[in-house]
Structures are given as C-alpha cells and as structure tokens.
Amino acid sequence: MLSSIVNAFKIPELRKKILFTLAIIALYRLGAYIPVPGIPFNQFAQSFRDAGVSMTMLDLFTGGALSNFSVFSLGIMPYITASIIMQLMQGVIPAVGRWAKEGDAGRRKITQITRYLTLGLGLINAVGYLLLFQSPQYGVVFSDAVPAWFTSIVVVFTLVVGTALIMWMGELITQRGVGNGMSLIIFISIVSGVPGAIFSSINYSADLGMGIAVTLLIILVVLACIPAIIFVERAQRRIPVNYAKRIQGRRQMGGQSTYIPLKVNAAGVIPIIFASCLIYFPAQLAALFNVDWLNSFANAISTGWINWILNVVLIVFFAYFYTSMVFNPEETAENLKKQGGFIPGVRPGTATMQYIKNVLHRVTLPGGIFIAIIAVVPSIIFYFTGNQLIQAFGGTSILIMIGVALDTMNKVESQLKMHNYEGFFK
C-alpha cells in the first residue's frame, strides 16, 4: 500500500492530478467555514444545536457547512437530486433516453441540463433555508444596518453561487484530478465529521473510561466490517464466453475463452446516495415551506422504523435501477453475436440476452440486500443509543466512504499499471 502511494508520486502526470485533487478539496473545506454575509453566526449556531434529526443528517452530508451557515451550506445535494431526476427521465422521456445512447454529444446535453436543474434546485433550497432560519424555530434576526430585503437577496445569491462552485469543483476533479469529483466531495464531507464524532462519543458517558471503551468498541466493529464490505464490493459473477474459430485473411481468429464479469454490487454507492437524497428531500421541502405537518413528516421519515423500511426498499430498488442503466444485456448479447462469441449451452441472440438478464437479477438482489442491511443496522443502533460516532460511522457513511475509496484507488491503480508499477490490489 505505502509503496504504491510512493510510486504514485513518482509519476509526474499522476502526481499533478493528486495534488490538484487535494487542492480542490482544501478549497471546499475552507468554503465550509466561511459564513454567509449578514447572518448572526453565534445566534444561529446556538439555535441549530436544537434542530431536528433531519437537519442533523443534512448537515452530515454538507460536512458541517449547514450548521455554520457557510457559503457551501446547500452542499452537493442539489446536484445529486438533479442527477436522480435526469436518470429517471432517461427511462420516462424518449428524447433523454436517446441522448444517453448518443455518446459524448448526448452526455454533454444531459450534463448541461443537469447543471441548470441543479441551480434551480439550489435557488429553491436557498429560499427555503432563508425562510426556515427566519422562522420562530431559529429566530435569526438580520442587522438593522442594512434593509432586510437586501440581506435576504445577498444570502440567497451567496448560497446559489456556493452550489455552483461545488458543482464546478466536482467537475474539475473528475476532468483533471483523480476519481469522481462529486463522490469525493461527499466522501470528504462525511470524513470531516468523524473526529468531532469521536470526541463526542468519548464524552457521551458520564464515566470517561466507559466513554473511551464504547468508542474503541465501535471503532473495532467498524474495522471488522470493512473487509466484508470490500469483499462484497469486489465480488463478481463471471459468465464464461467462448469464441468460435474463424479465418480472416490468412490469420485464424477466435478460439479463446473469456468471461463477462457481473459485479454483485454493480451500482456501488449510488443506491445509498440516491435513497438518502429521496428520504431527506422532505426535510428540504420543510425548510422551504416551514409547515408544521411537513416538519413532523420530515422528522418521522428521518429516523425510526419508517426510515429503516424506506431505506431498505429504496436501496434495493435503486440497486436494480442503476444496474439496468449501466449494464445493457441486449447490447452485450448483440456484441457477442457479432464477434462470434457464445455462452456454453446458451443459444446466441435472444436466449443469451435473457440468460444474462436473469443472472444479473440474481446477483443484484443479494448485493442490494447486503448494502441495505449495512446502511440500516447502524441507524437502528443509533436510534437506541444516541451515540454520535455511530451516526458518523453509520452504514450509509461507511459504505459511501469505502465505495468512493475503492473507486479512487482503482483509478490510481490503472494509472500505475500504465507506467509498469504495481497497483494497490495484488
């Protein structure tokens, strides 16, 4: 591991990408502590400590930016919500589905619409947070030195610009850095809350020794779960494929055997992120409208048995949904037929497509259930214990962190192997 990291910095091109990624991440974390102009910070911070569970969870995904009411308070959630909408539109609107199949040109159209949609959702969220924090629940009062309407415009404009900056930073990391920029931003937001959660867990009990023991126990359990999660993340169902021999010119082609790798968890952490965004979307609506019944509904589905059931159902659903988006059995079967490949015992064409689809459905179900269990069980434990470390190291958080870390390591490993260095995985 350490030798691979050292080798990564020996390659000039990869070293520049890593340093560029770290610089963007540092800027993102700096923005999380720059407060929005015109907000009485101390008064707001005190009011936020008494916020509901839904706001606490939203703050987790912003890396503490929301509790600071910083320029990055909206976090990456508007972009993730816009991405979910565009993914769903691919299966609903034929034109959007055609764009997804047109290659780079179609993807650029989808990306551009996603950007505009992100800014629209960011504007709605910004107005919602402004109204929420001015409500009696928080009681934020602007300074009399400038008109309240002017301060409101500045606050909303700053939050929307912050969302645009986060989106820009994520795209910069994806294009010029290492890994997926949006995933890394979520990763950093979650990791940044871990040190504070550790200290909170130690001080959670009146007995300091008991607090330290409980904290160490939680950390040991998390460390024990990591190998199992990595095992499932890298697990594959390999479908054998043979290629018929054929003569092309004076050369004999084909005749070899290979396989189609179907990952048990092909969707990665996307189901977790999508499910979390949908579940906490009512909290964003509650911030917008500040209606009592909506606030109660948002808090109800943010914790308790309703939250657990919704998480399991949505995670399994998005595991199937996203896997069907990234892997097309019809296209795979058609390509095999064109290249003279076949699955032993299965006729080419429709039968091959149906066979691949059946295998894909069978391997996706245990993968979806596994990540759903990992996401829900810590939430149940946190519900009965209230330990902040369990929330920070919860199943959703740890799956996102491990998934993003593995994806980033795979990208770095591919760069290392291009320069004849050994990767992280032997």
Judge whether 237 and 355 are in contact, CB under 8 Å: no
Domains and CATH numbers, the chain: 1-192 (1.10.3370.10), 193-393 (1.10.3370.10)
- Cα separation, 39 vs 71, in Å, equals 11
The pLDDT assigned to 394 comes to 66
- Give residue 166's region: left, alpha or beta (phi > 0; psi -120 to 50): alpha
| pLDDT tens for each residue of the chain, 426 residues long | 666 677 777 777 888 888 898 999 999 988 888 888 877 666 666 666 665 555 666 677 777 777 777 888 888 888 888 887 887 787 778 887 788 777 778 888 888 999 999 999 889 888 877 877 776 666 666 666 667 778 888 888 998 999 999 999 988 998 888 888 888 888 888 888 777 777 777 776 666 677 788 788 878 887 888 888 888 878 888 888 887 766 565 665 556 778 888 888 887 777 877 787 777 777 767 666 666 777 777 777 777 788 888 888 888 888 888 888 778 888 888 888 877 778 888 888 888 888 888 888 888 888 888 888 887 887 777 777 766 677 666 666 777 788 788 778 877 777 777 766 565 555
Length of the chain: 426
Radius of gyration of the chain (CA): 24
Residue 289 in tokens = 């409208």
The CA-CA-CA angle for residues 190, 195, 196, to 5°, reads 90
Nearest to 96 by CA among 105, 104, 86: 86
Give strand pairing partners of 70: 35
* CA–CA separation, 361 and 332 (whole Å): 15
What is the Cα–Cα distance from 406 to 425, expressed in whole angstroms? 10
Question: What pLDDT is recorded for position 23?
Answer: 92
Alpha-carbon distance values, 250 to 247, 253, 256, 341, 354 (Å): 7, 10, 18, 20, 36
- CA-nearest of 64, 30, 46, 221 to 140 is 46
> Packing angle between helix 350-385 and helix 395-418, nearest 10 degrees?
130
User: What pLDDT score was predicted for residue 43?
Assistant: 65
Tell me, what's the pLDDT at 385?
72
Instruction: Judge contact between 314 and 279, C-beta under 8 A.
Output: yes
Q: Is 74 helix (H, G, I), strand (E, B) or coil?
A: coil
d(CA 348, CA 354): 10
Residue 420: both structure tokens together: 């004849």
